[in-house]
Amino acid sequence: MSARDELIGYCLVNLPNEPAFEHAEVLADRYRAEILAEHTTAPAEAYPGELAALRGLARTLRTTIRPDNADIDEVRELLHLHATADAAARARVGAGHEQRVAQLLEAIRAHRGAWTVKRVQEWRRFTGGPTQRVPARRDLDELYRRGHLRRHGPDDGRFYTLNPRKDHTP
pLDDT in tens, 68-92: 666 667 767 767 777 777 766 666 6
15 has a pLDDT exceeding 70: no
The stretch 130-141 carries a mean pLDDT of 87
151 has a pLDDT exceeding 90: yes
CATH number of 50-162: 1.10.10.10
Which residue would you say has higher pLDDT here, 60 or 160?
160
Percent of the chain at pLDDT > 90 equals 18
The stretch 156-166 carries a mean pLDDT of 87
**Strand, helix or coil at 111?**
helix
- What's the Cα-to-Cα distance from 66 to each of 53, 58, 71, 144, rounded to whole Å? 22, 14, 7, 52
